[in-house]
């Protein structure tokens, strides 16, 4: 039959796309750059850590293919694999900035974060997203989702940020896999054994019809090449991260208390009347909102008592020239899956609209005068639900991540303040695109890629085995003190807890935020702080040593 | 997971590295690198514990047939001896094709 | 003059039982809710009861109902079942409803069967081949009651069993003509059946089931999961056996090895110029992996033991190939299929879990008494066969003027199973299982003397050519890889065996290992099969892997 692209492994896929004889692999299997985190957990590593970076030409044009190997650990992104992608994209960006056009092509075949390297995976994915957003100003960043793993988890958010995405009918795209939704929300929300429902919902046929993927081609190497070439030549960019008004209008017209099937959604999708959405700042109210650490600190830092907003789960306001943005729980929210503060469809798009409005308002100001942003992070997770996946919650989270990243890249100083939980896709949308992370030293904070129950199910371990692993691998841990060992935090604020509101606590936090903003004067607008600080470089408990090794090796090999 | 180490006398040095395979379920990757030593050294990481003797039997047969002198790194995710033998042979043939 | 003997006691007993429950029937049709009462009225303690169930189709409503009857009323039944598949098939022994079992196959329940035999909860009559079991229904296991399943039944009681007719006719006939009681569960009661598979006057009671009978797509293999070693072995088999022996008719056992062969015929077979020359005639279930070979003109006829879920429309559209009734649906027949396999085929190709140093094979491994179903019929040489074919003749010994040909019986195995346990062993686990379960015979699936070829990833052993057990063992050792058996192999002996054509390695028969890639498969996934079938094949949802 045809010359299948799906059948190929990552390296073969890269070779198949690039012109014969033009290829050169960077940080390949002979460079011994394997993950240091797998063997200590009894997991067999792969010499390339599941990522193939290959330079070459495509139809004569300079190109770099970054291919994820879906059959190694489900294509999960860990520290080394993530750093390979980031370092490669960074060089592509530098080349393009220097006037040498190089086209990046990313082959996604991934479940998202590699759960055995949890927090490293989340950090890496946010850094990949940052690079893609920066690159799109110069060249289209083409994504391929050939299948069979498809594109899930944090990498589905990445997927939504790509300029143009091409797949086959053997791919699926979604934020949360059906197994995770079943685990988190029950079998009634989604029966993960129902393969027809899975494919009808997440398969590319449905995804193309509703704007989540741009093109579906036959499973054939030549078909992929042709689609990529025309996407490059025509500079295709579907601007998937800028569709907030459409989706917020769609959500206005949706009754989330009623079941929504595929036909019903398709009908709704076609009937949407698009209206602009702008969220007014929060105002003081008479009744207390649903209690949360995020609300506590938003109200303290903005001075707004019982803050209320037109979108009850998204609070924003300016105080002393800083913009504060929080996602908060709302126990009576019309979307049941966000009642505990999860980031859902409406939250991601609304946060994006707030940040986009700010970018537009400050558009003509010099970088030093752009409004600084404080992201108040208290997100127990993203919303786990069938409707959320059908509509494409990953696109909503991508809209928020994109907005924060574009604000930062434009010169807004962005500091994430973490008084509450910072979990998974919720954290990717609301926090991880900041250039400084500042957290309370509060062991009630959960900071992770997935709940223990789901993580155990997906990695086929018991919760006891998982907890054992968290003791030895800081990136697997669920607490903020282990998180600091990775070097990701600018500052861990001691002596203040999530629900504190006394003057001393407030003063301490305000001073820490002032310090974080001060450190951003003349600082890079990227995310490099996280792997260049002292703990990251020299930390005894891991830091980002492997990241830095990868980066050094990529520097050496890029123009070799 | 278990780490295994073997050495074999070998006579045919390789002059450039070779990589074959993927650490997928039931599969493995084999890396061969040129060496200055007089015997081939194999470092194996395998996901299936307790098969040292089977590995030794597969490797003894392989080196009896193809005495390749190289440093071997093998990452194995539960491949059967038949698959191990296939990948070793493919790596050998990849060397031959390129020469 | 002595008193005249009553020659119709069975008939009278049957009439009495039916009369007692007649108020629950409308003609022959009962109501679902009365099922338990009906069984309690129609089955007597100690009866021989056939419960229909093979490895695909199960009279699941009747088996659930039987498990729910009052053991005070019904006990000590002697069950006769070709397959022990469902939990309640064994629950009835724990509850005392049944005490003795004659069967053929116990795949899904094999571990529990072993335990229950050891505990004495279940007494085994014998473990049969399918044909043996069916044959005994007419000799010394004549049933008092049979419980069977039908797709559609009309108001008269005519049965439509359609694609999945399987063993229903052979079971029903044994009861219907010896005053046994025939009880049928129906998926659906209809005004008119598409065709009559079993006439109503063979049927006593029809009970509409609460849900359709259980039906498993047991023979479907997703091409996605075929690996390179299976492709290599398939290439060797086509080259070194199908072509070499000019095989015209074949049965494929279920598995990925044979699925690989089916998908290599339109590609590799075509390259070898074998189309139109080999395997036009098949006795096999309608496996979807045959679709590319059928569509590209390799296959003239297929008769089937049973149906295969999702293949119904495709089969209906290919009546030149399949056995399709005037109504447009296939009729399968397990008994005739086994008969064809025994007497009409050139070759059987199957797989197993263990082969001993002499070439005996078994799927019974420690703690699992699985039984074998059809393989021992298909995988044996019927010595009474008279008609000859080129393949059969090609196994005739040269040195015996009265010598006759032989059926080709081929075992294809990787030297180690996916659990990394050696397939080639000195002694079969079955020997131990026989002792533990106190069986009369070692549960061997295919005997060494019937096995003519073994194919592994290492090569082919042409066992029929060996002239002593020692030579047979040496040939097996030569292809047994690094299993304990294979490690005994001696290089000089192997050289000699290869020179004499008793053993062939891939290079000896022109098979190129590097060609053994998945791209050689005519279909690489289920969607490809659907495309080959022009959309007529409708795979069960569990095989869905595309949108």
Q: Which CATH number do you get for residue C99?
A: 3.40.1080.10
Residue numbers of C between 189 and 228 with CB closer than 8 Å to B: 227-228
Q: Is residue A201 part of a domain?
A: no
My answer on whether A295 and A225 are in the same domain is no
| Chain B interface test: which of C225, C482, C505 (most B C-beta within 10 Å) | C482
The Cα of A42 is separated from the nearest Cα of chain B by a number of Å equal to 5
CB A102 within 8 A of CB A95: yes
Same domain, C210 and C232: no
Residues A33 and A107 in one domain: yes
**Quick check: is C501 in a domain?**
yes
Is pLDDT above 60 for A469? yes
Cβ neighbours of A5 in C, within 8 Å:
none
Q: Are residues C188 and C266 in the same domain?
A: no
Within-domain flag for A250: no
The pLDDT tens digits along chain C (547 residues) read 568 899 999 999 999 999 999 999 999 999 999 999 999 999 999 999 999 998 789 999 999 999 999 999 999 999 999 999 999 999 999 999 999 999 999 878 888 998 898 888 999 999 899 999 999 999 999 999 999 999 999 999 999 999 999 999 999 999 999 999 999 999 999 999 999 999 999 999 999 999 999 999 989 999 999 999 999 999 999 999 999 999 999 999 999 999 999 999 999 999 999 999 999 999 999 999 999 999 999 999 999 999 999 999 999 999 999 999 999 999 999 999 999 999 999 999 999 999 999 999 999 888 788 888 889 999 999 999 999 999 999 999 888 888 899 999 999 999 999 889 999 999 999 999 888 888 888 999 999 999 999 999 999 999 999 999 999 999 999 999 999 999 999 999 999 999 999 999 999 999 998 899 999 999 999 999 999 999 999 999 999 999 9
Residues A388 and A476 in one domain: yes
Q: Give domain status of residue A192, yes or no.
A: no
CB proximity B19 to A under 8 Å: yes
Q: Residue A77 belongs to a domain with what CATH number?
A: 3.90.226.10
Sign of the torsion formed by the C-alpha atoms of A512, A513, A519 and A523:
positive
Does B47 lie at the interface with C, CB-CB under 8 angstroms?
Answer: no
Q: Say whether both C355 and C463 belong to one domain.
A: yes
CA distance A15 to A30: 17
What phi and psi, each to the nearest 5 degrees, are found at residue C109?
A: -110, 20
Question: Do A149 and A43 fall into the same domain?
Answer: yes
- CA of A228 to nearest chain C CA: how many angstroms apart? 22
Structure-token match 């999945």, residue found: C164
Based on the fold, state whether residues A224 and A351 are members of the same structural domain: no
Condensed to tens digits (0 to 9), the pLDDT of residues C159-181 reads 999 999 999 999 999 999 999 99
C525/A199 Cβ within 8 A: no
Nearest to A7 among C519, C545, C547 (CB): C519
Residue A376 within a domain: yes
CB contact under 8 A, C522 and A1: yes
Picking from B80, B88, B93 by the largest number of C CB atoms within 10 A of its own CB, the best residue to mutate is B80
Would residue A546 count as lying in a domain? Answer: no
The answer to whether position A429 is within a domain reads yes
Classify residue C352: in a domain, yes or no.
Answer: yes
Nearest residue of B to residue C456, measured between CA atoms: B82
Q: Are residues C204 and C260 in the same domain?
A: no
**Does A304 lie in the same domain as A388?**
yes
Contacting residues for C523 by C-beta, under 8 A, at least 6 apart: A1, C223, C263, C289, C291, C292, C529, C532
Task: Look at residue C159 in the predicted model and tell me its pLDDT.
Answer: 98
Does any domain span residue C153? yes
Q: What whole-number distance in Å separates Cα of residue A272 and Cα of residue C69?
A: 59
> Which of C196, C345, C371 minimizes the C-alpha distance to C283?
C345
A 10 A CB-CB count for B18 gives 22
Q: Which two tokens stand for residue A230?
A: 């025309």
What is the predicted pLDDT for the residue at C1?
A: 58
pLDDT value for A467: 85
Let me know whether A23 and A125 are in one domain.
yes
**Same domain? C305 vs C324:** yes
Asked if B23 and A46 come within 8 Å (Cβ–Cβ), the reply is yes
Contact pairs from chain A to chain B, CB under 8 Å = 43
- Say whether both A218 and A285 belong to one domain: no
Flag whether A560 is in a domain. Answer: no
Write down the pTM of the prediction: 0.95
* Any domain includes C301: yes
Same domain, A222 and A283: no
Chain A residue whose CA is closest to C518: A7
In C84-222, DSSP assigns E strands to 98-105, 123-127, 145-154, 159-160, 181-190, 205-208, 214-215
Q: Taking Cα atoms as reference points, which of C208, C97, C106 lies closest to residue C145?
A: C97
Cβ within 8 Å, pair C482-B54: yes
CA distance C353 to chain B (A): 14
How far C299 CA sits from the closest chain A CA (Å)?
Answer: 20
> Count of domains in chain B?
1
- Total domains in chain A come to 2
CB distance from C525 to chain A under 8 Å? Answer: yes
**Burial bucket for residue A504 (CB in 10 Å: 0-12, 13-18, 19+):** exposed
Q: Judged by CB atoms within 8 Å, which residues 35-54 of A form the interface with B?
A: 39, 42-47
The CA distance from A2 to the nearest CA of chain B, in Å, is 23
Cβ of B89 within 8 Å of Cβ of C227? The answer is no
Q: Are residues C436 and C513 in the same domain?
A: yes
Query: Residue A239: how many CB atoms within 10 A of its CB?
Result: 9
Domain span at residue C66 reads: 15-215
Instruction: Say if residue A145 is in the same domain as residue A281.
Output: no
For residue B78, the chain C residues in CB contact (below 8 A) are 420
Please, are residues A479 and A489 in contact by the beta-carbon 8 Å criterion? no
Q: How many domains does chain C have?
A: 2
Last residue of some domain: C194, C215, C236? C215
Q: How far is B48 from chain C (nearest CA, A)?
A: 9
Domain membership of residue A207 (yes or no) is: no
Q: Show which of C153, C187, C215 is a domain's final residue.
A: C215
Q: Which domain holds residue B19?
A: 2-98
CA distance A533 to A523: 13
The boundaries of the domain holding residue A325 are 276-521
User: Which among A486, A476, A380 is positioned nearest to A430, based on CA atoms?
Assistant: A380
């Amino acid at each position: 039959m045809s010359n299948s692209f799906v059948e190929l492994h990552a390296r073969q896929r890269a070779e198949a796309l690039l012109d014969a004889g033009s290829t050169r692999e960077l940080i390949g299997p002979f460079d011994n750059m394997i993950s240091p985190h797998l063997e200590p957990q009894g997991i067999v590593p792969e010499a390339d850590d599941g990522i193939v970076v290959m330079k070459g030409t495509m139809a004569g044009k300079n190109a770099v293919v970054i291919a994820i190997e879906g059959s190694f650990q489900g294509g999960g992104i860990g520290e080394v694999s993530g750093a390979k992608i980031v370092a490669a994209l960074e060089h592509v960006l530098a080349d393009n900035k220097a006037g040498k056009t190089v086209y990046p092509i990313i082959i996604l075949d991934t479940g998202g974060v590699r759960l055995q390297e949890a927090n490293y995976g989340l950090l890496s994915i946010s850094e990949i997203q940052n690079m893609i957003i920066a690159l799109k100003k110069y060249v289209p960043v083409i994504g391929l989702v050939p299948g069979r793993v498809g594109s899930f988890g944090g990498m589905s958010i990445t997927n939504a940020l790509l300029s143009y995405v091409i797949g086959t009918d053997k791919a699926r795209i979604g934020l949360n896999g059906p197994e995770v939704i079943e685990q988190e929300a029950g079998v009634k929300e989604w029966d993960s054994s129902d393969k027809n429902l899975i494919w009808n919902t997440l398969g590319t046929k449905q995804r193309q019809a509703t704007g989540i993927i741009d093109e579906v081609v036959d499973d054939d190497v030549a078909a992929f090449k042709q689609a990529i070439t025309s996407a490059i030549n025509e500079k295709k960019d579907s601007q998937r991260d800028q569709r907030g008004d459409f989706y917020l209008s769609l959500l206005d017209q949706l009754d989330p208390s009623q079941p929504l099937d595929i036909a019903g959604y398709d009908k709704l999708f076609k009937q949407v009347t698009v209206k602009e959405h702008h969220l007014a700042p929060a105002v003081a109210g008479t009744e207390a909102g649903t209690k949360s650490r995020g609300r506590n600190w938003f109200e303290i830092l903005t001075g707004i008592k019982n803050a209320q907003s037109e979108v009850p789960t998204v609070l924003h306001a300016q105080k002393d020239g800083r913009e504060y943005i929080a996602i908060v729980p709302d126990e009576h929210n019309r979307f049941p899956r966000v009642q505990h503060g999860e980031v859902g469809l409406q939250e991601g798009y609304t946060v994006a609209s707030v940040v986009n409005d700010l970018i537009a308002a400050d558009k003509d100001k010099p970088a030093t005068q752009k409004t600084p942003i404080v992201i108040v992070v208290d997100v127990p997770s993203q919303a786990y639900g069938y409707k959320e996946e059908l509509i494409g919650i990953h696109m909503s989270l991508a809209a928020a991540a994109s907005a924060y990243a574009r604000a930062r890249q434009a010169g807004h100083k962005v500091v994430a303040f973490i008084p509450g939980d910072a979990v998974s896709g919720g954290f990717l949308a609301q926090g991880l695109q900041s250039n400084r992370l500042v957290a309370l030293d509060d062991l009630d904070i959960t900071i992770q890629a997935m709940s223990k129950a789901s993580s155990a199910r997906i990695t086929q371990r018991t919760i006891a085995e998982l907890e054992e692993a968290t003791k030895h691998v800081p990136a697997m841990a669920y607490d903020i003190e282990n998180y600091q060992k990775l070097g990701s935090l600018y500052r861990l604020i001691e002596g203040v807890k999530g629900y504190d509101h006394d003057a001393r606590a407030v003063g301490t936090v305000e001073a820490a935020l002032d310090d974080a903003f001060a450190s951003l004067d003349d600082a890079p607008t990227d995310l490099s702080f996280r792997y260049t600080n002292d703990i990251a470089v020299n930390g005894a408990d891991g830091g980002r040593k492997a990241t830095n090794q990868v980066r050094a090796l990529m520097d050496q090999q890029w123009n070799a | 997971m278990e780490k295994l180490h073997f050495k074999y006398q070998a006579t045919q040095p390789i002059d450039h590295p070779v990589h074959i395979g993927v650490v997928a379920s039931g599969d493995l990757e084999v890396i061969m690198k040129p060496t200055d030593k007089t015997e081939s050294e194999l470092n194996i990481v395998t996901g299936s514990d307790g098969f040292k003797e089977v590995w030794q039997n597969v490797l003894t047969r392989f080196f009896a047939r193809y005495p390749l002198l190289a440093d071997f790194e093998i990452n194995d995710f539960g491949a059967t001896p038949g698959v191990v033998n296939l990948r070793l042979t493919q790596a050998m043939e990849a060397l031959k094709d390129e020469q | 003059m002595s008193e005249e003997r009553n020659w119709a006691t069975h008939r009278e007993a049957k009439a009495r039982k039916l009369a007692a429950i007649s108020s629950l029937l409308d003609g022959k049709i009962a109501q679902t809710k009365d099922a338990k009462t009906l069984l309690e009225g129609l089955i007597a303690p100690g009866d021989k009861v056939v419960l229909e169930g093979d490895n695909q189709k199960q009279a699941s409503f009747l088996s659930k109902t039987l498990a729910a009857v009052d053991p005070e009323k019904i006990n000590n039944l002697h069950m006769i079942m070709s397959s022990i598949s469902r939990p309640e098939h064994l629950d009835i022994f724990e509850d005392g409803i049944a005490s003795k079992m004659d069967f053929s196959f116990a795949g899904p329940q094999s571990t529990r069967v072993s335990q229950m035999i050891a505990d004495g909860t279940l007494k085994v009559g014998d473990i049969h081949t399918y044909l043996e079991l069916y044959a005994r229904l007419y000799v010394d296991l004549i049933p008092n009651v049979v419980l069977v399943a039908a797709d559609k039944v009309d108001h008269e009681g005519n049965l439509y069993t359609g694609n999945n007719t399987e063993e229903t006719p052979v079971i029903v006939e044994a009861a219907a003509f010896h005053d046994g009681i025939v009880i049928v569960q129906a998926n659906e009661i209809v005004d008119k059946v598409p065709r009559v598979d079993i006439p109503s006057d063979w049927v006593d009671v029809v009970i509409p089931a609460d849900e359709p009978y259980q039906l498993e797509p047991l023979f479907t293999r997703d091409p996605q999961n075929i690996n390179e070693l299976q492709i290599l072995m398939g290439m060797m088999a086509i080259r070194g056996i199908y072509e070499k022996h000019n095989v015209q008719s074949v049965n494929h056992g279920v598995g990925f090895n044979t699925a690989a062969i089916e998908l290599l015929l339109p590609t590799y077979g075509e390259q070898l110029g074998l189309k139109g020359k080999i395997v036009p005639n098949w006795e096999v279930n309608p496996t979807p992996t045959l679709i590319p070979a059928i569509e590209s003109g390799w296959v003239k006829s297929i008769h089937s033991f049973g149906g295969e879920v999702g293949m119904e429309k495709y089969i209906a559209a290919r009546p030149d190939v399949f056995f399709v009734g005037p109504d447009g649906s296939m009729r399968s027949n397990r008994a005739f299929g086994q008969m064809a396999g025994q007497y009409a085929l050139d070759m059987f190709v199957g797989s197993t879990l263990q082969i001993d140093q002499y070439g005996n094979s078994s799927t019974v491994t420690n703690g699992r008494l699985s039984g074998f179903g059809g393989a021992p019929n298909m995988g044996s040489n019927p010595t009474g066969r008279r008609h000859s074919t080129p393949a059969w003749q090609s196994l005739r010994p040269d040195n015996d003027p009265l010598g006759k040909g032989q059926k080709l019986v081929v075992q294809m195995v990787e030297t180690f199973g996916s659990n990394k346990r050696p397939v080639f062993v000195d002694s079969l686990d079955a020997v131990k299982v026989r002792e533990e379960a106190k069986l009369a015979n070692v549960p061997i699936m295919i005997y060494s003397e019937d096995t003519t070829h073994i194919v592994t990833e290492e090569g082919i052993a042409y066992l029929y050519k060996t002239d002593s057990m020692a030579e047979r063992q040496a040939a097996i050792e030569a292809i047994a890889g690094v299993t304990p058996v294979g490690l005994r192999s001696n290089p000089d002996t192997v050289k000699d065996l290869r020179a004499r054509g008793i053993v062939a390695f891939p290079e000896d028969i022109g098979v190129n290992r590097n060609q053994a890639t998945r791209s050689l498969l005519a279909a690489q996934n289920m969607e490809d099969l659907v495309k080959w079938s022009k959309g007529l094949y409708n795979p069960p949802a569990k095989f869905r892997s595309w949108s």
